[in-house]
Amino acid sequence: MQPLAPPMLPSRTVAQFAGCCCLALGLLILSVLPATAHAAQFGEYEIKAGFLYNFLNFVSWNAEMERNPSQIVLMVFDTGAAGKAIADTLASETVRGKPLRVILSAQPADARKAHLVFVPTTSAGELDKIIQAVQGRPVLTVGESDNFIAAGGMINFVRQGAKIRFEINPRAVQGTGLKISSQLLKLAIITSGPHSNLTSTPLATLICRQRSGLPADAEI
């Protein structure tokens, strides 16, 4: 059996279709490899940038957000090292053919302008203000603190032993106009019940379709 390749993060140097398949494989590997294996080649927030990038590819926004054709906005509620690592990792990337703009901010009100907001532990003290700022709005909230889901967050990075995983709270998504792909849900720990087993082919196929501009029902 061939050894697992190192996790792949978004890269503008990879051909579109081949690159999307590497990204799909990368997300699957990141879901099962120990965190210590990640650290050997990538920093923690470079790894999480790869997750955030893929989250953007597996969430649909309501018509109001989808009508803006200019860019996809990812806000990191951190202006320090964590935010810079994510911004550098995702520089010049695109999501569904639109430029991805990463903004670093310490102002909760700025979250209303984003498609996705990531709240590192360095900003956990402002969590309630951020959740309140986007309450009922089509903004995907992602965190990494123990109380993130309880505070109303949607996706939260967690550790299972030495592995990095993520949990999803479907109830927090209801009523916001957001729709999370079932393919992403299959990889998550669902907070309201047991999570599904990890899968590979459906997720890899869906990423390849989206990154290559193929319709969702296209055969690959």
Q: Which domains does the chain possess?
A: 16-212 (3.40.50.2300)
**Count helices and strands in the chain by DSSP H and E runs:** 9, 10
Region of 96 please: left (phi>0), alpha (psi -120 to 50) or beta. left
Instruction: Give the residue carrying structure tokens 């009523």.
Output: 175
Residue 14 has pLDDT above 60, yes or no: no
Q: Rounded CA gap, 200 and 124, in Å? A: 33
State pTM to two decimals: 0.73
pLDDT score at 124: 86
Structure letter (DSSP) for residue 12: T
The dihedrals phi and psi of 41, each to the nearest 5 degrees, come to -125, -30
Helix axes 44-57, 201-212, angle to 10 degrees: 80
Residue ranges of E strands in the chain? 59-60, 72-76, 94-95, 98-104, 116-119, 140-143, 155-160, 163-168, 179-180, 189-190
Q: What is the dihedral of CA 171, 177, 182, 183, to 10 degrees?
A: -120
Residue ranges of E strands in 77-183? 94-95, 98-104, 116-119, 140-143, 155-160, 163-168, 179-180
Residue 73 has pLDDT above 80, yes or no: yes
The tokens describing 106, both together, are 């310490």
Residue 92 has pLDDT above 70, yes or no: yes
pLDDT, tens digit (0-9, with 9 covering 90-100), for 177-198 = 999 998 899 889 998 533 333 3
Binning pLDDT at 50, 70 and 90, where does residue 42 land? confident
Tell me how many degrees the CA angle 88-110-45 measures, rounded to the nearest 5. Answer: 30
